[in-house]
Amino acid sequence: MWNKKHIVLAFFLPVEMLLMKLAVENPAFIERYYSNGIYPTLSAFFRIILGWIPFSVGDLLVIFGLFAFIRFLVRLLKAKFKNFIPKSIHFIAVASVIYGCFYLFWGLNYYRAPLAKNLGYKQQEYTTEQLQKVTKYIIKKLNYHQLKITKNDTLKVKNPYHQKEMYQMAVAGYEHLSRSFPQLKYQYASVKSSSMSLLQSYNGTSGYLNPFTGEAQVNDKIPKTMYPTTTCHEIAHQIGFAAENEANFVGFLAANYNEDLYFKYASYRMAFSYCISELRKRDSTLSHQLWKTVHKGIIKDFRVSYQFWQHYKNPLEPLIKKGYNAYLKANKQDKGVQSYNYVVNLLIRYFEKSVKF
């Protein structure tokens, strides 16, 4: 049976896709009227009405969506594709609504002006020498905080906080951060442990932002030493930084500006992992030499994280990553998952400006 509403909504899908192509070409417009216009009010609204709920509403939506999709396929097969065209139009109509809501509620932030421009950093290639200097400085700070916490350079840092405590502490870090970077202000917290944490562990993700509810979801099974930066990363998505590399950098800043030692340790831990990885690609010998200067307790910490992800490794994970890679590329992240490594450029600009080598 034909439904006029379904036909109209299905017709809007290509129109929406055309509008998105125009959005790619107008980052200044998106930055001014969406990311700094409509979005802050819209996202705050969702966080206010859903932030107080102790469980993840977004996870329930995902589960319901998967159930509805499977149900649609099963009914289509049982009916032997009877009324296939009207049912397909119904499906496209639903996809049109989801597509429109995704970009209206959050996704348009993918097409905003670069964060580097927002912060006044020059976007240019950095040298191996610059990377080496910054990595050495990060190692120095990482060793310092590890030793201050454990009093022994061979001991692994053990984060004593409960996950919910760290959600509140992360907000405090953003309060400190907003004094230096007003554009990174965060209000009306809505950070929760994901009820799909086990599934996230198997697909290799430590957290996600649900664009339809504005909730930041954190995989509560990940090692606690990486919990502060993961939480701050997901909050960065909430305040409108959709690109993974930019959310990583903002997450680093928020954890680094936190007064808590475990948050500071986590921030340098994260910065080190990105910088040493990039240095390994450029000069493996130099990378190996710098690893020798890292405290044994920190190396033990990284080993625990590695073993955690290895434990959940499975044949489907590479396929999921390929799908996510395609998703990133479809949203202006031209290098897909590799775009995560471009946080190094922002880290170098930040340290050169703040430390003044």
- pLDDT of the chain, 357 residues: tens digit per residue: 667 888 889 989 999 999 888 888 899 999 999 999 999 999 999 999 999 999 999 999 999 999 988 888 888 888 777 878 888 888 899 999 999 999 999 999 999 999 988 888 887 889 999 999 999 999 999 999 999 999 999 999 999 999 999 999 999 999 999 999 999 999 999 999 999 999 999 989 999 999 999 999 999 999 999 999 999 999 999 999 999 999 999 999 999 999 999 999 999 999 999 999 999 999 999 999 999 999 999 999 999 999 999 999 988 777 777 777 777 777 766 654 445 568 999 999 999 988 876
Q: Please spell the DSSP secondary structure of 211-272, one letter per residue.
A: TTT--EEE-TTS-GGGHHHHHHHHHHHHTT--SHHHHHHHHHHHHHTSSSHHHHHHHHHHHH
Name the residue ranges covered by the structural domains of the chain: 4-111, 124-354
- Write out the H or E segment, with its range, that includes residue 191: strand 191-193
Interstrand relation of 191-193 and 216-218 (parallel, antiparallel or unpaired): parallel
CA distances to 41, 107, 255, 263 from 270, in Å:
31, 25, 10, 11
Pairwise CA distance, residues 354 & 241, whole Å: 22
Ramachandran area for residue 240 (φ above 0: left; ψ -120 to 50: alpha; else beta): left
